[in-house]
Amino acid sequence: MEMMVKKFQSKFNKVREEMNQWDELQSRLISQFRNASHIVDRLQVLQKSSNYGILNCVGAVSDVLLQKQIDSLNTISFSMRKTLEEFHCIVLSLEKMHRDGRQLVKGSSSRPTMKQLQQRVGVKPTLIDCLDGLSFLHEIYYSEYLLKTSIVSALSSMALIPSNASDLGALQQLLVDQPNILTEEVQSLFDTIFAEDL
Phi, psi of 146 (to 5 degrees): -60, -40
Q: Does 123 bind another protein (CB under 8 A)?
A: no
81 binds another protein (CB under 8 A): no
Return the number of the residue (41 or 167) whose C-beta is nearest another protein: 41
Among 46, 73, 151, 159, binds another protein (CB under 8 A): 46
Length of the chain: 198
Q: Is 107 in the site for another protein (CB under 8 A)?
A: no
Nearer to another protein, 52 or 136 (CB): 52
Q: List the one residue from 10, 48, 110, 183 that touches another protein (CB under 8 A).
A: 48
- Is 53 a binding residue for another protein by CB under 8 A? The answer is yes
Angle at 47 between CA 45 and CA 49, to 5 degrees: 95
> How many whole angstroms separate alpha carbon 118 and alpha carbon 173?
40
Question: Is residue 166 within the footprint of another protein (CB under 8 A)?
Answer: no
- Pick one of 42, 132, 135, 149: the residue that binds another protein (CB under 8 A): 42
- Site membership for another protein, residue 78 (CB under 8 A): no
Q: Sort residue 53 into left (φ over 0), alpha (ψ -120 to 50) or beta.
A: left
Residue closest to 136 by CA, chosen among 38, 19, 26, 55: 19
CB 121 within 8 A of CB 1: yes
From the list 13, 17, 20, 58, which residue makes contact with another protein (rule: CB under 8 A)? Answer: 58
Roughly what angle, to the nearest 10 degrees, separates helices 127-160 and 2-46?
10
The residue ranges that bind another protein (CB under 8 A) are: 42, 45-46, 48, 51-61, 64-65, 68-69, 72
